[in-house]
Amino acid sequence: IYFKNGKAVKDFRVNREIPKYNDQEIQTALKQYEQAVKLDAASTNPNRVNNVNMEIADRLFISALSGSQNARTYLRAFKNHFGGLSGEYLETWVDDMRKLYLWDTNKETDDDFLKN
């Protein structure tokens, strides 16, 4: 976002050149998520969402862009799995979901993202 002639301009493009994960990196991300789920379920006072889990969400996002359907499923479930998200964690997850939506639809704006 920048200003031109006193008006805000939103210049956003999906970076189709983003490096993708290989199969081993995807499998690692999936296993990390599955282990985090088990740890959360086994805890009597689960930590729920933390920076480590959000890093796993980031890896799931790149895995989804790399073609993993399981990563897409895990990423969608992430919001509710760890006791819900709030604050910066929720913002990060919503941003990832918006970027995934734009990636999938080949759109340049996310104006209709919330309608879906």
| Position with higher pLDDT, 34 vs 83 | 34
Return d(Cα 53, Cα 40) in angstroms, integer: 10
* 10 class by beta-carbon count within 10 Å (0-12 exposed, 13-18 middle, 19+ buried): exposed
In the block, which residue shows the tokens 């939506």? 101
| pLDDT tens-digit map of 5-58 | 888 776 666 788 899 999 999 999 999 999 988 887 766 555 567 788 899 999
pLDDT band at 65 (very low <50, low <70, confident <90, very high): very high
| pLDDT tens-digit map of 90-113 | 888 988 998 898 898 876 655 565
Instruction: Give exposure, 45-56, as e/b (b: 16+ Cβ within 10 Å).
Output: eeeebeeebbeb
